[in-house]
Amino acid sequence: MMAELISIEYNIFKTTFGRLGLLCQKHASSPNNTPNVPFLKKCKEAGLLDYLFEEILDKVHCIQETLMCETTSESVYEEIGTLLFDCRLFEDTFVNFQAAIEQKIHESQERQQQLDEQIELLQDLKNNVCLFQENRDPELSSISTSCSLSS
């Protein structure tokens, strides 16, 4: 009986708020959002909060898969973009994402600097080897020539 009641209320909730409507700012500020609290409390009482959030996570995963698909249309991108960017729940996610981007840039710059230093060291070693070979046996003109041509 309780499961049927929750199922009915969940269907009303889905209809009223649409896909992930609970998360969207425009729905959260709506005067019609009062069913959210009793619905969530009943889910908790019935032990169905985990199930509800699994469903939400499944939906988010489906959104990700849709975005990864090569054949996703522009209108679907727009719909998903609106859904994600209008959600207050994700505000801190985008702040954290921006921080992750900055960190990735910093790491890439450090890696680039290390590669530049390594290239400089290798070029210096190459020149030293060429000089060493030239000084050791000046009659090996082919080696000398290859060292001077490739520097």
Tens of pLDDT, residue by residue over 111-130, are: 999 999 999 999 999 999 98
Residue 62 has pLDDT above 60, yes or no: yes
Same domain? For 104 and 62 the reply is no
Looking at residue 69, what DSSP letter applies?
S
Same domain? For 80 and 98 the reply is no
Q: What angle do CA 72, 21, 84 make, to 5 degrees?
A: 45
Higher pLDDT, 65 or 17: 65
Domain count, the chain: 2
Please, are residues 46 and 6 in contact by the beta-carbon 8 Å criterion? yes
Q: What is the dihedral of CA 63, 65, 70, 74, to 10 degrees?
A: 0
Residue 99 has pLDDT above 50, yes or no: yes
Same domain? For 67 and 51 the reply is yes
Per-residue pLDDT reduced to its tens digit, 5-18: 444 444 444 443 44
- Give the largest CA-CA distance in the chain: 99
Residues 35-50 have a mean pLDDT of: 87
Helix (H) or strand (E) holding 121: helix 91-136
Domain of residue 146 covers 94-150
pLDDT band at residue 110 using 50, 70 and 90 as cut-offs: very high
Same domain? For 80 and 121 the reply is no
Same domain? For 70 and 17 the reply is yes
Query: What is the rounded distance in angstroms from the CA atom of residue 56 to the CA atom of residue 30?
Result: 21
Same domain? For 14 and 56 the reply is yes
Looking at the chain, the whole-number percentage of residues with pLDDT higher than 90 is 30
Helix (H) or strand (E) holding 28: helix 25-28
Same domain? For 9 and 45 the reply is yes
Same domain? For 74 and 98 the reply is no
Same domain? For 72 and 15 the reply is yes
Residues 21-32 have a mean pLDDT of: 48
Q: Which of 44, 64, 86 lies at the terminal end of a domain, its last residue?
A: 86
Same domain? For 143 and 78 the reply is no
